[in-house]
Amino acid sequence: MLRRSLLFSSRPRGVRLLRGALAAAALAAPLAAAAPGDAVALTVQPRGATVTVSGSSHGNVVWPGDSFSVKTSVENGDPAQPTLTGARGDLSSPASGLSLTQASSTFPDLQFGTPTANDTAFAGTLAAAAECGADVPLSLALSANQGSAQLPYSIPTGSVGPKQSYDSTAGTQAIPDNGTLTSVLHVGNTGRVKHLSVRIGNIQHTYDADLRIELVAPDGTSATLVNGQGGSDPNGAKREGAASPTVTASQTNRPPLPPTNLLASNNGSSTTLIWTASPGDPDAGDHIAFYRIYRDGVAYANRYDRTGLGTDTSYVDTRTGGMPHSYSITAVDTQLAESPLLGPVTR
Ligand SMILES: [Ca+2]
């Protein structure tokens, strides 16, 4: 029996929420690292794994019990060494249910900026008792005449089953002011949850911008569904709007990498921000959806939202009021996970 909880919390108007969660967000591990004893660490990056399941009735997705082959793509990211020669890779995995029958292969010369797969496909078998739906981690020990590196990969297992929905039976509950309401939603079947959507029907609350709504799994994993959305009403009137849009959260989602090189310039009436795009998102199939601008710290009333679709790397603040402001920026992925803050810069 899985159990999920919705946490509704409210804060008094005027109290600022700290963004400590941002500082705690994990960054992806460095991609180039030397093996013990190696003098030179190659600047190379993993560029995905391509799986083939021969004779499969369910496509090229590994199910428990399947034998499969996999090619790993590597990109040389070092312009100072535009050709890496004599490359070979040895594949391993800490997953107990995976046995590798072909774990070594040579690579063609690795040209700068060109993703390149191994010559001979790696091969293995996933045990029938392995947990369906759990990603299988792989580690490639890459060596070339110029140095070596250890590269991480991951391949998904299992196929997505039909969506099932569960309605809360909690009924109408009061949200305490400056407190937390927990509403428990029982999910009555087994299996690994890969993705889920939450639909919140209707909430009435004075100063609904104060609301923060979290979905919490039994193991404590949480996803923020709503934080600081909506408005405030100084007269304290209740408000009732249309149902919220569906918010999709993923248990396995990781935040994207932050953008870099935030610069600000001011022409007297407006401030222009430019930055270098985020290197990307560590989750396969995920990407940067937009960048989020923060002005003067963390107060949501001063927060500027979308600037584009992840390709827009500038923003003009035309409402500076002739005053200098402090700006920071984050990258946000399609699951609304947010990178660590870049900045601040003050102009
Ligand atoms: Ca992500």
What is the per-residue pLDDT for 217?
Answer: 84
Cα 130 to middle of ligand 1, angstroms: 25
What is the per-residue pLDDT for 44?
Answer: 96
Long-range contacts of 104-109 (CB under 8 A, 24+ apart): 107/74, 107/142, 107/144, 109/83, 109/84, 109/85
| Top-confidence residue, 153 or 289 | 153
Cα 283 to middle of ligand 1, angstroms: 5
| Residue at token pair 């919140």 | 200
Cα 258 to middle of ligand 1, angstroms: 12
pLDDT reading at 301 higher than 80:
no
Q: What does the block give as tokens for 70?
A: 């996999």
What is the per-residue pLDDT for 239?
Answer: 53
Confidence of residue 333 (pLDDT cuts 50, 70, 90): confident
Confidence of residue 18 (pLDDT cuts 50, 70, 90): very low
Q: What does the block give as tokens for 95?
A: 């997953």
What is the per-residue pLDDT for 202?
Answer: 79
Taking residue 275's Cβ as centre, other Cβ atoms within 10 Å add up to: 24
- Decide: pTM greater than 0.85: no
Cα 333 to middle of ligand 1, angstroms: 5
Largest Cα–Cα separation, the chain: 73
pLDDT reading at 25 higher than 60:
no
Q: What would the pLDDT profile of 163-222 be if each residue is shown by its tens digit?
A: 888 888 888 888 888 889 988 888 877 667 777 888 887 787 777 778 889 998 888 888
What is the per-residue pLDDT for 283?
Answer: 87
Cα 229 to middle of ligand 1, angstroms: 21
- The residue ranges of DSSP E strands in 277-347, in sequence order, are 288-295, 303-306, 314-317, 326-333, 342-346
Q: How far is CA 269 from CA 28, 265, 294, 324, 347, in A?
A: 39, 11, 19, 10, 11
Q: What does the block give as tokens for 319?
A: 């409402």
pLDDT reading at 305 higher than 70:
no
Domains detected in the chain: 2-23+165-227 (no CATH), 33-155 (2.60.40.10), 260-346 (2.60.40.10)
Mean pLDDT across the chain, nearest whole number?
Answer: 81
Cα 245 to middle of ligand 1, angstroms: 20
d(CA 65, CA 69): 13
Mean pLDDT of 134-152: 96
Q: Which residues have CB atoms below 5 A from the ion given as ligand 1? A: 253, 281, 283, 286, 333
Cα 284 to middle of ligand 1, angstroms: 8
pLDDT reading at 300 higher than 70:
no
DSSP 95-145: -TTEEEEE-EEE---EEBT--EE-SS-EEEEE-TTSPTTPPEEEEEEEEET
Confidence of residue 251 (pLDDT cuts 50, 70, 90): low
Q: How far is CA 316 from the centre of its chain?
A: 27
Cα 176 to middle of ligand 1, angstroms: 33
